[in-house]
Structure 1
């Protein structure tokens, strides 16, 4: 339900940005500034791709840091048991 609401609101916003007009007699649909809507879509997609890349990088670095810390803790425990 939330996804459908988001999609509908996004379509309405993009139509508003592009100055959508609809005339009944004669029937005519025009999107005068369609390039603005396309530009906004491209910018939003760019932010999504950038965010996904940064998130993946963060997970990789966090995993590697966690492995290093785990190895350090295990080595300390092994040394304390030997003593």
Structure 2
């Protein structure tokens, strides 16, 4: 899974190839503070588009957890 574009400015696209189900997305700054939480994310096995326009420039840890037990974490750079 390779989110794009990086660096992001308004949106980040997260490819979800062959992943079905619902779950949640948590975004943390590098100090460990949760800055965004989206629950009831629906995956149709294609792409998840996340609005990051409200985040300040910097690096963030994205944690995506699906109800089927799949989870992944990755770093995203937001640049204004």
Where on the TM-score scale, by shorter chain, does this alignment land: which range?
under 0.3
More strand by share: 2
Structure with more relative contact order (C-alpha pairs < 8 Å, separation 6 or more):
2
More helix by share: 1
Taking structure 1 as the reference length, the TM-score comes to 0.21
Q: Which has the larger radius of gyration?
A: 1
Taking structure 2 as the reference length, the TM-score comes to 0.21
